[in-house]
Amino acid sequence: MLNENTNEEIIDELKKIVKQKGLKYTEQREIVLSILLHAKEHLTAEEVYNEIKKRYSDSNIGIATVYRALSFLEEVDLIASITFGTDGKKYETNSKSHHDHLICTSCGKIIEFMDDEIEKRQDKIAKKNKFKISSHSMQLYGICEACQE
């Protein structure tokens, strides 16, 4: 995970990864990553595509390219996704510090949270079971306050 790096450092990391893999660097991947770096919330592929059309109107990036770029960026651990079953995925960058998610199953709202007690409890459980945690993701599903009304 890339904790609290600047956007420029993350773009540089993308360039380094592409070079290491012997792939051609494409502006499309950088644009998709940039959209997510500037997003205030988790975005679907379609929302990323719509943002590209808005911010990069001269670009001819198609939705298929967006899906391929998202897949690649997730594969190389620059972004992460939350799956919504048949409703697809929402994406965010891995540039933020660790956090977990509350996900509304009614409207799809995602609330990020961090709880030191939960983190300590997970470590304690792992230690008790002689298990070394390399990473984790917690997603709690339910109904948000607005949808409860």
Q: Is 107 annotated as a binding residue?
A: yes
Q: Using alpha carbons only, give the angle 34, 80, 60 rounded to the nearest 5 degrees.
A: 35
Q: Is 147 annotated as a binding residue?
A: yes
Encoded amino acid at 103, one letter: I
* Residue 103 to residue 87: CA distance in whole angstroms: 13
Q: Is 144 annotated as a binding residue?
A: yes
Encoded amino acid at 141, one letter: Y
Q: Is 38 annotated as a binding residue?
A: no
Tell me the H-state helices in the chain: 7-20, 27-38, 45-55, 63-75, 116-128, 145-148
- DSSP-derived letter for residue 142 is E
Q: Is 119 annotated as a binding residue?
A: yes
What SS3 state is found at 5? coil
Q: Is 87 annotated as a binding residue?
A: no
Q: Is 99 annotated as a binding residue?
A: no
Q: Is 13 annotated as a binding residue?
A: no
Contact 43, 64 (CB under 8 A): no
* Residue 23 to residue 135: CA distance in whole angstroms: 27
* Residue 149 to residue 140: CA distance in whole angstroms: 20
For the annotated binding site for Fe cation, the residues are 98, 100, 119, 136
Query: Residues annotated in the binding site, as ranges?
Result: 98, 100, 104, 107, 119, 136, 144, 147
Q: Which residues define the annotated binding site for Zn(2+)?
A: 104, 107, 144, 147
